[in-house]
Structure 1
Amino acid sequence: MKYRPQTYFLLFFFFTLEFACAQQLTMSREEMIALTPSWEGERFPDGRPKVSDSILERLKNISLEQAWSVLRGEGYTHQYEYGWQNIHPGDVLVGRVLTAQYMPIRPEVRAQLEKKGAEEGRIGDMVSWPIDMLEQGDVYVADSYAKILDGPIIGDNLGTAISAKSGNGVVLNGTVRDLDGLAKIEGFTSFIRGTHPSYQQQMMLTGINVPIRIGPVTVMPGDLVLGKLDGVIFIPPHLAEKVVKTGELVILRDQFGHQRLREGKYTPGQIDARWSDEIEKDFSQWLEAHIDELPVSREEIQELLKTRTW
């Protein structure tokens, strides 16, 4: 089925309401593809973009500042959110986004959504449905509207299930319970708004793998999430490779520049400005001399060296 452009616009901004009214929890493959038209790579069976594992691994070394700079240059000015509590401070979270949208309960709507879930073979309470859909390398990203009392949508039981399914933690615009238990799950690097000993009540799940809002960010299924310290940035899949390659170049140039500053070969003004041809040539020679010692693969450095002009 084909839709007019105006229909896609309405789908984008009113998906959650439409899902609730139509008793529909997820987008169709066609709708998913329509809302991620810039991605030309591999997709999951449901249409969600599937950025490669190699890009995910390389993204771990990229700073939030480097990623932010690339995205802003591409016109994506609302991709970063700060002020999180990181369950494993200092660890890095990277993965493909699977989204979930929660809303305050409206009994007749929840009843219809539960009926639809049963027809689709979904098991248990609504809070477990998105977890059942996770793949390795995913990050469960949920908007539970920062509800505190009766707001936690996961504890250590569901956290263990999430870790087993995805190998990752979560990003929750809301609270969790059982923080002691969650902190003991190895690799469960997660970004949350806080904790509370209660459990979710008077809530309903209105969408899985739909566009959601996390702070100022519109998050799409298949985006990449990069979380470090207390900040999280969401990267559209079609820009992931550019973020990684640009970030790796910045890492190399910074390492070279810092070394030359320590040696006193160049002044801060020379390194902090646009590099002269002399410095660019020195950088190229430095790359060749240290190709096996740098935090970027030999193959990527060799590809970079092909672009030199001398």
Structure 2
Amino acid sequence: MRFFKIQTIAAILLLSISVQAQNLTISRQEMIELTPKWTGERFPDGRPKVSDDLLKRMKRVPLEQAWGVLKAAGYLHQYEGNWKNINSGEVLVGRALTAQYMPIRPEVREHLEKEGKADGRVGDMVSWPIDMLSKGDVYVADSYGKVVDGPIIGSNLGTAILAKSGNGVVFNGTVRDLRDLEAMPGFTSFIRGDHPSHQTEMMLKGVNVAIRIGAVTVLPGDVILGYLDGVAFIPPHLAEKVVKVGELVLVRDEFGQIRLKEGKYTSGQIDNRWTTEIEADFAKWISANPGKLPYSQAEMQELLKERTW
């Protein structure tokens, strides 16, 4: 009897979760609970809002340094490679606005369309996430890699995305009108491919919910850092540390390369944990070049104390 009761309770809980999961978005409180380590500014819906200043500085951070900080913090699955890049050579940085697509199930799509109409959403489902974009966002969508009848945007929706966010997209799926999208300055994007068809037999299952992109779980408000064929998905509470460590490593590389050209140190000395002598030389060089880092030497020393890179 006890086992039967436990099974019954479990079934009720699963049913409750299933019904709740049919909602397109989550509440502000649920968003806060989903991203508890973020203590900074949030959008009205609760999505973390990493500052524009950090986003601007993030563009200089190498993917290798971002990955190193994330790994040291215990985030081992935040990088996805082997993308097709639109506007290769440009860096994509922004706050993730997430969307999840699934193969159509008629009764679920009907329910979601009714909900969308009640919320004042217009047009086909594929336009709904685009209408929610803000400047500095990156539209991140899992369209489950569908190719034929899978593209969820073409040149018209791409133009709308760029106008609203100033950025391109990260899609675990495909696009159409590739030539037109490639001709749009600033539309730096990471996609799985392209196809001349358009999406059919698909449905938008959720916006600003947790989604999977390859091997990564992406949350709303994660900071996207994409370059060449790789993308890092940075939890918002780690964005500032990623930026500061990235800036410090770049400056240390600059110093090391200067000293190598001068012949003061050997490559073995620079490409290894620095001696006390080299660290003292670096600190003196930083003091003589105060504009190299946008934060104090005290902060720099704290980062050096806890470094694992």
Same fold? TM cut 0.5: yes
Preserved CA contact (<8 Å) 2:80 2:231: yes
> Is 1:31 the counterpart of 2:35 in the alignment?
no
State the distance in 2 between where 1:19 and 1:139 align: 28
State the distance in 1 between where 2:101 and 2:129 align: 11
Mapping for residues 209-228 of structure 1, pairs under 5 Å: 209-228=208-227
State the distance in 1 between where 2:18 and 2:158 align: 26
Which residue is 1:7 aligned to? none
Which residue is 1:249 aligned to? 248
Which residue is 2:239 aligned to? 240
Mapping for residues 1-310 of structure 1, pairs under 5 Å: 18=17, 23-292=22-291, 294=292, 296-297=293-294, 300=295, 304=299
State the distance in 2 between where 1:305 and 1:92 align: 26
Q: 1:246-304, CA deviations, whole angstroms, 9 ceiling, x for partnerless residues?
A: 11111111111111112111112211222122111111121222334x4x44xx25555
Superposition RMSD in Å: 2.0
Query: Which residue identity is paired with 2:112?
Result: L
Q: How many positions carry a matched residue from both structures?
A: 291
Preserved CA contact (<8 Å) 2:248 2:300: no
TM-score, normalised by the number of residues in structure 2: 0.90
1:214 positional shift:
0.3
TM-score, normalised by the number of residues in structure 1: 0.90
Q: 1:173-232, CA deviations, whole angstroms, 9 ceiling, x for partnerless residues?
A: 000000111112121100000000000000000000000000110000010000000000
Which 4+ residue blocks in structure 1 deviate beyond 4 angstroms? 17-22, 301-309
1:103 and 1:93, CA in 2 relative to 1: closer, same or farther beyond 3 A? Answer: same
Q: 1:68-118, CA deviations, whole angstroms, 9 ceiling, x for partnerless residues?
A: 000000000000000001100100000000000000001111111111111
1:270 and 1:78, CA in 2 relative to 1: closer, same or farther beyond 3 A? Answer: same
State the distance in 1 between where 2:34 and 2:180 align: 37
1:20 and 1:226, CA in 2 relative to 1: closer, same or farther beyond 3 A? Answer: farther
State the distance in 2 between where 1:195 and 1:19 align: 33
Q: 1:29-82, CA deviations, whole angstroms, 9 ceiling, x for partnerless residues?
A: 000000111001010010000011110000000000000000000000000000
Q: Any stretches of 5+ residues in structure 1 without a counterpart?
A: 1-9
State the distance in 1 between where 2:58 and 2:29 align: 29
Q: Any stretches of 5+ residues in structure 2 without a counterpart?
A: 1-9
What's the secondary structure of 1:145's corresponding residue? Answer: coil
What's the secondary structure of 1:109's corresponding residue? Answer: helix
Query: Which residue identity is paired with 1:66?
Result: Q
What's the secondary structure of 1:238's corresponding residue? Answer: helix
What's the secondary structure of 2:102's corresponding residue? Answer: strand
Query: Which residue identity is paired with 1:177?
Result: R
1:18 positional shift:
4.6
